[in-house]
């Protein structure tokens, strides 16, 4: 396994991050435990979750599963860099969501209890809260850091200017601020190249791409359909929308002798701004297969071909749209 610093921090994380969103809804607890054990065996020490995962209001099903896995001992918690999130609705009362100081405090305590741990390595804002001032958000986070309940703070789904505003406010308070940003980023979704990635570089944030396979679109979906797998209605619409690109994409991967999912991950890993794409294996076989991406090296000709198939926004702003 390869490791990288999480942005400007001293924290080392694996170049692949184990996403746990499937644990509970799609992967049973009994099957989730071996996947997490295998991840540690492979050197994957970076696990990502969220208090809303499990999708049963207020229950934090996925966090509970991880907590019971930690509770087995064997150094599981100590070996894991644990990332979870706050923002989503966790109850029917008005303050059971978003980023008020009250909800941050309550949500953190609830996550610690479910995860059966006394600290969270990376506590991420799942979305921007336009109703809560940064003075309030940072005051709540500073207290959690002082108490030792949170070590690092990150964002998710932030715009570039929001990263800048958050970190400038943190700087004024002599607080470290954001250490990472978790963004939608894959070959078919490259808008973050305009301003989010430049902001991450400038402020020293690690970039953690979610949905690296575009929900399966980049995972060889055409070949799977040819072999008899049925696509969901939503996926079928996406396939028809992008069919010409997908045909070229899968043909390129076949010519390389590689699986599309592995090439999609390798493309992200090629970008020095990327710390660790989030993989969401539902089985041990899928987890093991993901490691191939670490071995694939993309040459300039291949990168140019991929840019032609999936054009980005044209680079960083403002040069992407102005002189």
Q: Where are the alpha helices (DSSP H) in the chain?
A: 29-42, 61-70, 76-79, 101-115, 134-146, 160-172, 196-203, 221-226, 233-256, 260-270, 284-290, 300-309
Q: How far apart are CA 106 and CA 94, in angstroms?
A: 13
Q: How far apart are CA 14 and CA 277, in angstroms?
A: 10
Catalytic residue among 53, 123, 185, 242: 53
Q: How far apart are CA 102 and CA 85, in angstroms?
A: 15
Rg (CA), the chain: 20
Active site (annotated) includes residue 53: yes
DSSP tag of 186: B
Tokens at residue 198, please?
A: 């430049």
For β-strands 150-156 and 178-184, DSSP reports them as: parallel
Nearest to 178 by CA among 203, 197, 202, 195: 203
Q: How far apart are CA 30 and CA 27, in angstroms?
A: 8
Task: Count CB-CB contacts under 10 A for residue 88.
Answer: 17
Q: What are the catalytic residues?
A: 53
């Amino acid at each position: 396994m390869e490791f990288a610093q999480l942005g400007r921090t001293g924290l080392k994380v694996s170049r692949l991050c184990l996403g746990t969103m499937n644990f509970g809804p799609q992967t049973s607890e009994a099957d989730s435990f071996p996947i997490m054990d295998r991840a540690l065996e492979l050197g994957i020490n970076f696990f990502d979750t969220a208090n809303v995962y499990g999708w049963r209001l207020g229950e934090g099903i996925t966090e509970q599963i991880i907590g019971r896995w930690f509770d087995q001992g064997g150094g599981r918690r100590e070996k894991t860099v644990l990332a979870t999130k706050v923002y989503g609705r966790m109850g029917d009362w008005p303050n059971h969501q978003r980023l008020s100081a009250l909800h941050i405090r309550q949500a953190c305590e609830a996550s610690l209890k479910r995860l059966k741990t006394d600290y969270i390595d990376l506590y991420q804002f799942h979305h921007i809260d336009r109703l809560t001032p940064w003075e309030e958000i940072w005051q709540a986070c500073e207290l959690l850091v002082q108490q030792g309940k949170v070590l690092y703070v990150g964002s998710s789904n932030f715009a570039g200017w929001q990263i800048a505003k958050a970190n400038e406010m943190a700087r004024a308070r002599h607080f470290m601020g954001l250490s990472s940003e978790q963004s939608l980023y894959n070959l078919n979704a490259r808008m973050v190249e305009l301003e989010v990635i430049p902001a991450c570089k400038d402020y020293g944030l690690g970039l953690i791409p979610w949905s690296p396979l575009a929900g399966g679109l980049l995972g060889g979906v055409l070949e799977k359909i040819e072999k008899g797998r049925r696509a969901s209605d939503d996926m079928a619409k996406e396939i028809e929308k992008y069919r010409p690109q997908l045909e070229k994409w899968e043909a390129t991967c076949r010519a390389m002798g590689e699986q599309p999912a592995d090439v999609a991950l390798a493309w992200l890993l090629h970008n020095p701004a990327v710390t660790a794409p989030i993989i969401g294996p539902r089985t041990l076989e899928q987890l093991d297969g993901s490691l191939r991406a670490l071995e694939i090296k993309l040459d300039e000709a291949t990168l140019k071909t991929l840019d032609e198939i999936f054009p980005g926004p044209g680079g960083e702003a403002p040069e992407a749209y102005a002189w």
